[in-house]
Amino acid sequence: MSLVTTFRVGGLTCHTLDAGLQRLDGGAMFGVVPKPLWEKRIAPDERNRIPLCMRCLLIEHDTGPVLVDTGLGNKEADKFLDIYGVENAGRRGPTQLDDALAEVGYTAGDIRYVINTHLHFDHAGGNTYVPAEGGTGERDGGEPETLIAFPNATYVVQERELEFAGQRNERVAASYLPPNFDPVSRAGRWQRVRGEAELLPGIRVVPTPGHVPGHQSVLVQSGGETACFLGDLVPTAAHLPLPWIMGYDLEPLVTLETKRALLARAEADGWVLVFEHDAERGLGRVVRQGRSYGYQPLDTPPGRA
């Protein structure tokens, strides 16, 4: 089964990369939406968890391959993997992301830019890795050394997000795990951006706060076409209705207004949307449904659900 879906945005070739699966509590994923409603869209398991893809985006650019988000990585213990129902082991490398990259002919060393939408463990965990036993030395205290996963890449994040992740307060400590981003800081590999910015011709980062204050989405634009990697602003196609907002979001009313503005642009201009966590629907468009929005498959005529 392929881990890759390829599509084009004007003159740019893009690939969604399936970096594995996790399972999170359905109630937390849908916030105030009642279970009888959300379970019709994504069925939970016996532990009330729903399956969530960890989908990344690879953009083939003249400057070199650009990777958006990096999945979970390989640093977590068995207890963590069980709690979150993680399936992301790789056959050709440390994780399934390595397998997906290999499927399109790349290795981690080929990546020139890594863009993190934010620094939660399921989006930035693959920024770094722990080598297999016997692969490298150890840090002080006998712990395995955590290494940069993309040795030739510049890592891009909103400056506000990096500062926020460093606070490590009790509300967010379980999501911001220092081994995912501290080694990048020590190596001096961050390119910190402030607000909306064109990273490369045709690749733009756009602040989309609400889930966390420094969250950003990524626009790919070429030949009059646009694709948007949404990150956790709209994690699955089931979250397209405006009030369907995760309980994980730190500022849900900010999320609401961010969604309202971005989805209006996406609907008006026919953007392709990339859903990072939808286990079944990685790509689609948005269609207006009354005062809110719903999912439109790419092969459906514009304006029809």
Digit-coded pLDDT (tens) for 87-103? 999 998 899 999 999 99
Inter-residue contact 30 to 255 (CB < 8 Å): no
Digit-coded pLDDT (tens) for 101-160? 999 999 999 999 999 999 999 999 999 999 976 444 444 444 678 999 999 999 999 999
Structure confidence at residue 288 (pLDDT): 95
Q: Radius of gyration (Cα) for the chain, nearest Å?
A: 18
| Number of other CB atoms surrounding residue 201 within 10 Å | 12
Residue percentage of the chain with pLDDT more than 90: 91
pLDDT, average across residues 283-291: 95
Query: Among residues 124, 51, 112, 58, which one has the least CA distance to residue 85?
Result: 51
Structure confidence at residue 1 (pLDDT): 86
Encoded amino acid at 119, one letter: L
User: pLDDT confidence of 301, banded at 50, 70, 90?
Assistant: low
Pairing relationship of beta strands 49-60 and 283-289 according to DSSP bridges: unpaired
**Range 26-41 burial, b when 16+ CB lie within 10 A, else e:** bbebbbebeeeebbeb
Structure confidence at residue 143 (pLDDT): 62
Encoded amino acid at 101, one letter: L
| Number of other CB atoms surrounding residue 170 within 10 Å | 6
**Which domains are delineated in the chain?**
4-296 (3.60.15.10)
Structure confidence at residue 126 (pLDDT): 98
CA 33 to chain centre: 23
Look over the chain and give the mean of its residue pLDDT values, rounded to a whole number. Answer: 94
Digit-coded pLDDT (tens) for 186-219? 999 999 999 999 999 999 999 999 999 999 999 9
